[in-house]
Amino acid sequence: MPPVVVPQHSILWFRKGLRLHDNPSLLAAIKGATHLYPVFILDPWFLKPDVVGVNRLNFLLDSLTDLRSSLQARGSNLLVLRGNPQEVLPRVWKDWNITRLCFEADTEDYAKERDGKITAAAKESGIEVISCVSHTLYNTRDVVAKNGGKAPLTYKGFEKAIAALGPPEPPAEDPPAKLPPIGADSKGTDSEKTGVPSVRELGYPDEASTDIKGGETEALARLAEQLSDKAWVAAFEKPKGDPTAFIKPATTVLSPHLKFGCLSPRLFYEALQRVYSEKKEHSKPPVSLLGQLLWREFYYVVAAHTPNYHRMEGNPICKQIPWDDNEDFYRAWEESRTGYPWIDAIMAQLRRTGWMHHLARHCVACFLTRGDLYVSWERGRDTFDRWLIDGDSSLNTGNWMWLSASSFFYQYFRVYSPLTYGKKYDPEGKYVKHFLPILKDYPAKYIWEPWKAPLKVQEDAGCIIGKDYPAPIVDHDEASKRCIQRMKQAYDCQPGKAAQPVSKPAAKRLGRNMQDGSPMSKRMKRSN
DNA sequence: ACAGGGTTGGTGGA
DNA sequence: TCCACCAACCCTGT
C-alpha cells in the first residue's frame, strides 16, 4: 500500500439505499478518508404533489430522519441539501475540497442520465467516482450477459440466467461504530440548514394519511418480525393471500423499504435462505417470498435494458394497442367513482394509505385497461406511481404492462371480476365499509353490488345509488366481452404480424374435420 | 409445425 | 376442494 499523501475527503451521496447496513458505497467512501460528507439532495424535479404523493414523500423524510440519527450516533451526520444535484454537488465538492464521490448505482432512466453527467463533471474536477451495486441482488448487466446479451422476458429465462450467475453476493459488512467526521470549518454544513424538512416545508398542503413508517430501523424491525413466523414464511404463496386484509396485511409490506433501500435486497435474500434452511419444506419461486424478491430483480433487469420501457410507443416488448383516450373513465377510476365498491375501495385505500394488496392492484389495473374501461396502462401507471409508497418505476411499469396484457402476459381473456374477490374474502364488506364510508350502512347482501339493492334498502342505508354513490360506470359483463374482442383485434394487428383472415381455432377445426380421420376431440363433439 | 407452460380468472358442477 | 369448460393468447424449446 502506498502511503496516503493527500487527505481523502469523501462525499457519500445517498439517493436510494437509505441505510447503513449492506452499503458498499459507504465502505468505499470511508476507506482511508479523513473526512466524510454524507449527503442527500432533495431534487425539486420530483418534489411535486402530482409526481410524488404526500405519503411516499413522508416515508422518504422518515427514512432520512432515521438515517440522520444513525449517522449522528456514529459521530457523523446527514446533510440534507436542496436543489438540482447537477448544480449542488459541484458547488459543495469545491467548498469541501472533495477527492472522492461515492454512491449506489441506479439503473433508472432519470438517474442514469443524471449520474452520467455528474460522474463526468467530477472526473473533470479530478474527483474519484465510485458507484456500487447494492439496490439489486445482481448487476443487471451480468444477468443480461448470461441471457445472451438480451434481457430475459420470461421468469423462467430469468431464473436460468441467475442460476448461471450463482447466488448473489452476501451483504457487505456493517460500517464501523465511528465514522470519519464532517469537516468542521466547511461551508454549508451547519445543522440548522441541513436538517430534514417536513412535508409542509416542502410545499405540500396536507400531512401524510398513512401508518406506514419509513427508515432503516423500521425496516430491520419489520424484517425480523415478519420472518419470525417461520412456518408462515415457509408456506407463503403469493396468490393465496387475502387482498381485503387491511388491519394486518397478508404480505410483508417490506416493499416500501426495498424501494427506498431502507432494507437491502441481499440482506432479505440471506434472511429468507436462513429460514428456508431450517424448514424441511417450503414454497418456491415464483410464488414464494424469495420468488417475490426475484420478480423485483426481473423487472429491474428488463427495465434497465429495454428502450422506451416506460411507454407503449417505441417499446419493443410492448403490444401496440389503440387504447381509448377516455378522460372521464380515467378520472372516475382514479377518484373511486366507478360504482363498483371493490374497485373504488381499493383506489381509496391507495390514496389514503399508499398501499394495497397485490391482487387488489391486479383488479384495479385490469379494470382500467383490458378488463373494462380500455384506458391506457400508462395512465394507471402514473396514478400508482404518484400514490404508492412502494411505487418503484421499473416494477410498476412492468406490472402494468403485465396486467394490461401488453407484455409478459398475454391471456387477455382472463379478466378479473370487480365482484369476486370482495365477495370471496370479505362477505361482510368490512373492507369496503372502511374505505368507502358512504356505504357503511348497506347490508352485506348488497355491499359489493349496491345498485341491486331495492330503493327502500338504499334509503335506509342513507345512500341512493346514482346520487350519493355512482351507478356502475359500465356493465362489467358487456364491457369485458367487448374489451376481449378489441384485444383480439389489437393482437391481430401488431406490426410484423401477418393478417389472419380466419381465426386459428376455426382453421384448426376446419382442417381436422376435412383432412384427417383422427378422432374428434371432446371440444369438437360438443361444438358439433 | 407443434406441444407445453405460463406467479394469482370466472363459472358451474360434483 | 377439485375438476372441466369458456375461448384461445404468446413464448420457448424441440
Q: What is the pLDDT of residues A81-118, one digit of tens each?
A: 999 999 999 999 999 999 999 999 999 999 999 999 99
Q: Taking the C1' atom of B9, which residue's CA lies nearest?
A: A414
Q: Which three cell numbers stand for residue A280?
A: 424441511
- Rounded to whole angstroms, the Cα distance separating A157 from A352 reads 38
- Rounded to whole angstroms, the Cα distance separating A108 from A402 reads 19
- In this prediction the pTM is 0.93
Please say whether the beta carbons of A401 and A365 come within 8 A. no
pLDDT at A402: 98
Separation of A403 CA and B9 C1' (Å): 12
Given a cut of 60, is residue A521 above it in pLDDT?
Answer: no
A460 three-state secondary structure: helix
Strand C nucleotides, any atom under 7 Å from protein beta carbons: they are: 4-13
Q: What is the pLDDT of residues A396-424, one digit of tens each?
A: 999 999 999 999 999 999 999 999 999 99
Given a cut of 80, is residue A527 above it in pLDDT?
Answer: no
% of chain A residues with pLDDT over 70: 93
CA separation, residue A45 to residues A48, A83, A108, A222 (Å): 8, 9, 15, 31
Q: Which three cell numbers stand for residue A185?
A: 470549518
Residue entry with cell 409490506? A253
Q: Which nucleotide is nearest to A366 (CA to C1')?
A: B9
Phi, psi of A80 (to 5 degrees): -95, 110
Q: Which three cell numbers stand for residue A401?
A: 404492462
pLDDT at A497: 78
Separation of A323 CA and B4 C1' (Å): 32
Q: What is the pLDDT of residues A213-267, one digit of tens each?
A: 999 999 999 999 999 999 999 999 988 889 999 999 999 999 999 999 999 999 9
- Rounded to whole angstroms, the Cα distance separating A407 from A377 reads 11
Separation of A228 CA and C13 C1' (Å): 41
Beta-carbon contacts of residue A157 (< 8 Å; ≥ 6 apart): A147
Separation of A129 CA and C7 C1' (Å): 57
Q: Which nucleotide is nearest to A411 (CA to C1')?
A: C9
Q: Across-strand partners of A119?
A: none
Sign of CA dihedral A276, A219, A392, A210: positive
Q: List CB-based contacts (under 7 A) with strand C.
A: A 153-154, 156-157, 160, 410-413, 488, 491, 494, 497, 503-505, 522-523, 526-527
pLDDT at A500: 55
pLDDT at A240: 87
A375 three-state secondary structure: strand
Strand B nucleotides, any atom under 7 Å from protein beta carbons: they are: 6-11
Separation of A460 CA and C8 C1' (Å): 46
Q: Taking the C1' atom of C13, which residue's CA lies nearest?
A: A157
Q: Across-strand partners of A524?
A: none
Q: Which nucleotide is nearest to A319 (CA to C1')?
A: C10
pLDDT at A59: 98
CA separation, residue A149 to residues A133, A156, A159, A162, A375 (Å): 19, 16, 15, 14, 34
The answer to whether some atom of strand B lies closer than 7 Å to the beta carbon of A411 is: yes
Q: What is the pLDDT of residues A16-28, one digit of tens each?
A: 999 999 999 999 9
Weakest-pLDDT range from A191-205, A309-323, A467-481: A191-205
A41 three-state secondary structure: strand
- Rounded to whole angstroms, the Cα distance separating A152 from A488 reads 25
The answer to whether some atom of strand B lies closer than 7 Å to the beta carbon of A423 is: no
The answer to whether some atom of strand B lies closer than 7 Å to the beta carbon of A59 is: no
Given a cut of 50, is residue A518 above it in pLDDT?
Answer: no
The answer to whether some atom of strand B lies closer than 7 Å to the beta carbon of A246 is: no
Separation of A366 CA and B10 C1' (Å): 14
Q: Sorting pLDDT into bands at 50, 70 and 90, what band is A2?
A: low
Separation of A507 CA and B4 C1' (Å): 21
Separation of A63 CA and C3 C1' (Å): 50
Q: Which nucleotide is nearest to A407 (CA to C1')?
A: C10
Q: Which nucleotide is nearest to A359 (CA to C1')?
A: B8
Separation of A112 CA and B11 C1' (Å): 48
Q: In the predicted model, what is the mean pLDDT of residues A351-363?
A: 97
Q: Across-strand partners of A82?
A: A42
Query: Could you please report the per-residue DSSP string of A265-299?
Result: HHHHHHHHHHHHHH-S----TTTSHHHHHHHHHHH
Given a cut of 90, is residue A133 above it in pLDDT?
Answer: yes
Mean pLDDT value across chain A: 92
- Rounded to whole angstroms, the Cα distance separating A42 from A11 reads 16
Separation of A509 CA and B3 C1' (Å): 18
Whether the upstream peptide bond of residue A286 has omega within 30° of 0, thus cis, is: yes
Separation of A420 CA and C4 C1' (Å): 20
pLDDT at A183: 84
Which amino acid type is present at position A370? R
Separation of A330 CA and B5 C1' (Å): 35
Q: Sorting pLDDT into bands at 50, 70 and 90, what band is A45?
A: confident
Numbers of helices and strands, H then E, in chain A: 22, 5
Phi, psi of A209 (to 5 degrees): -125, 30
Given a cut of 90, is residue A522 above it in pLDDT?
Answer: no
A37 three-state secondary structure: strand
In window 131-160 of A, residues with CB < 7 A from nucleic chain B are 154-156
Q: Taking the C1' atom of C6, which residue's CA lies nearest?
A: A413
Separation of A230 CA and B11 C1' (Å): 36
Q: Which three cell numbers stand for residue A498?
A: 401477418
Q: Taking the C1' atom of B8, which residue's CA lies nearest?
A: A239
Q: In the predicted model, what is the mean pLDDT of residues A168-196?
A: 88
